[in-house]
Amino acid sequence: MTTVVENRDELKQRIQQLLAADLVAVNALLSRQFRNPNMFVQDVASHVSRFQGKQIRPILTLLSAEVFSPDAAARENVHRLAAVVEMIHTATLVHDDVIDDASLRRHVSTVHRRWNTETSVLFGDYLFSKAFHLAATTGDAEACRLIGLATDRTCEGELNQIAARLEQSVSERDYFRVIGGKTGHLFAVSCLLGTRAAGGSMVQQTQMKQFGRRIGLAFQIADDVLDLTASAEKTGKDASNDLCNHRLTLPLIRALKTGSHREQQRLKDLMTSIDANDHARLRDDPLVRQGVESAQATAEHFVRRALGNLESLPPCPARDVLAGIARFSVLRSS
């Protein structure tokens, strides 16, 4: 029988109950990967380890495997794969902060602010290299291929974002191409790797890959909403960072399609003049509020479709928690 997770605190408690030992093993792996005898590299690694937040991607890998009750050997590989997806995600954060010229990440200074751009680029590359080396220890060439493909798609998403910015694109198609690569694909492969390592069928692997992609899209849209509506104190990141970097996200794209021509022009003028210290004016704009509501509805649509992907999986506590993560992915405050 399906059990509905009622609130965030219950969701966190259920995750801890199901995955406590697995998360300890994954974090021990990550700690070893971040260890280095070179004092400078170790200093940077220790700083970057503070960027780890909810660890949603490795949790998705662990839960996707847990649905199929992996044996001891499979579980060990699942731990490695969960650590790999977290390292890849962390590497993209380090690089993203350079691209965005961001000052804060999880309430601490970004690497390029704490040191310099060269350190950020090289340390991000170092994390990618460490991730691929750890993936190779699973002895699963197909898993390594899938991880490589996910990394390719993530980088393509970043390049598509730059192209959209240079072209001043207001196309939803361009937006979804960007977030499908930047966020959707790594969420998808996180679920796929766990399902595959635990012995899920090809059909089940496809369902879980789609589940991951859909909640990844929902998660990113919710993140873009937060960029407009939440303060830096809440998110731990620079407020209105997307807009300050001339990136139009779904709430703003939808806002620009709302209202009269005069209202749209007024919003464009406001967006052009806004800075990170005065994003409240944008947040409170009537068109932006409508855009935020529309984007939120789209995120919730992706969640409903993701929940449909879970229906064919064996009923179990892990499936219930996956459903809870999907539901709460669009109800975040940070």
Tens of pLDDT, residues 129-187? 999 999 999 999 999 999 999 999 998 988 888 888 878 788 899 999 999 998 999 99
d(CA 176, CA 61): 23
Please report whether residue 165 resides in a domain: yes
d(CA 271, CA 248): 10
Tokens encoding 44 = 């940077």
Domain coverage including residue 108: 8-328
Contact 109, 103 (CB under 8 A): yes
Global pTM reads 0.91
| Total of domains in the chain | 1
Contact 234, 333 (CB under 8 A): yes
Residue 108 burial by Cβ neighbours in a 10 Å radius (0-12, 13-18, 19+): middle
CATH number, position 146: 1.10.600.10
Please report whether residue 194 resides in a domain: yes
> How many CB atoms lie under 10 A from the CB of residue 27?
18
d(CA 332, CA 93): 19
Contact 74, 65 (CB under 8 A): yes
| pLDDT tens-place string over residues 38-92 | 999 999 988 888 887 789 999 999 999 999 988 988 999 999 999 999 999 999 9
Contact 89, 212 (CB under 8 A): no
d(CA 131, CA 143): 12
Please report whether residue 1 resides in a domain: no
Please report whether residue 127 resides in a domain: yes
Please report whether residue 28 resides in a domain: yes
Please report whether residue 2 resides in a domain: no
The pLDDT of residue 5 is above 70: no
The pLDDT of residue 211 is above 50: yes
Please report whether residue 92 resides in a domain: yes
The pLDDT of residue 326 is above 90: yes
Please report whether residue 334 resides in a domain: no
